[in-house]
C-alpha cells in the first residue's frame, strides 16, 4: 500500500517536471522566473509595508509587517504627514485599491498646519520610501508588467498542479 503510494508520488513528480518544462518553454526569460520563497496565497499576490499612524518612516519600516495584500487590492499606498520644517509626524502604509490611489499628491492641512503627501506604487514591497513633495507623491505603476505576465502565469499553473497533486495524494 505504502509502496504504491510512493510510486504514485514519484510518477506525479515526473509529470510535474514535464508539465513545468512545457509551460516554461513557451517563454524562457530566466531573469523573470523567480520561484516563490514562501508560498503565495493566490496568483499575482504581493506584499506591502503596513503600519498605521507611526511617528516616522524608520519606525514604520522597522516594525511594519510585510503582509500579503487581500485579492481586491493591487497597490501599496503611503500617507505621510510632516511639518513645514519637513519633520515627519505620521506615516501610514497599507495595501490599496485603484480607487484609493486616485488621491496621490501633496496638500496643506489647514487644521494642523501640516502637509500631507500620498503616494501609490505597484510591486512587491514597493512602498519603502515616503513621499515628501510633488515629485515623489505619485502613482508609480510598473510598465514592464505585461512582459512578465506569461512566465508568471506558468508559475501559477505549476502551483495549481502542485496543489492538486497534494490534494490527490
Location of C-alpha cell 522566473: 33
* 72 contributes a contact to ligand NAG by CB under 6 A: no
Are the C-beta atoms of 67 and 48 separated by less than 8 Å?
Answer: yes
> CA 41 to CA 81: how far, in whole Å?
33
User: Min. distance of Cβ 50 from ligand NAG in angstroms?
Assistant: 23
> Which residue is it, cell 490527490?
168
From the list 16-24, 48-56, 132-140, 154-162, the region that binds ligand NAG by CB under 6 A is 132-140
Task: List, in sequence order, every beta strand (DSSP E) within 69-153.
Answer: 75-82, 88-96, 105-109, 114-121, 139-140
Report, in Å, the least distance between residue 129 CB and ligand NAG. 8
Q: Does 133 bind ligand NAG (CB under 6 A)?
A: yes
Residue 83 lies near ligand NAG (rule: CB under 6 A): no
136 near ligand NAG (CB under 6 A): yes
- C-beta closer to ligand NAG: residue 90 or 136: 136
State in angstroms the smallest separation of the CB of 12 from ligand NAG. Answer: 52
Q: Residue holding cell 508520488?
A: 9
Amino acid at each position: 500500500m505504502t509502496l504504491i503510494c510512493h510510486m504514485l508520488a514519484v510518477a506525479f513528480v515526473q509529470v510535474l517536471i514535464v508539465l513545468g518544462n512545457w509551460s516554461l518553454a513557451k517563454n524562457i526569460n530566466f531573469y523573470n522566473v523567480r520561484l516563490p520563497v514562501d508560498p503565495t496565497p493566490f496568483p499575482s499576490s504581493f506584499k506591502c509595508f503596513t503600519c498605521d499612524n507611526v511617528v516616522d518612516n524608520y519606525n514604520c519600516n522597522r516594525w511594519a509587517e510585510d503582509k500579503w495584500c487581500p485579492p481586491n487590492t493591487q497597490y501599496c499606498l503611503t500617507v505621510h504627514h510632516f511639518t513645514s520644517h519637513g519633520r515627519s509626524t505620521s506615516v501610514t502604509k497599507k495595501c490599496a485599491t485603484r480607487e484609493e490611489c486616485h488621491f496621490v499628491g501633496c496638500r496643506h492641512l489647514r487644521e494642523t498646519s501640516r502637509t500631507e503627501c500620498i503616494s501609490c506604487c505597484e510591486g512587491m514591497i514597493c512602498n519603502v520610501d515616503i513621499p515628501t513633495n510633488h515629485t515623489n507623491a505619485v502613482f508609480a505603476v510598473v510598465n514592464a508588467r505585461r512582459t512578465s505576465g506569461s512566465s508568471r502565469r506558468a508559475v501559477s499553473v505549476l502551483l495549481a498542479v502542485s496543489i492538486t497533486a497534494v490534494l490527490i495524494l
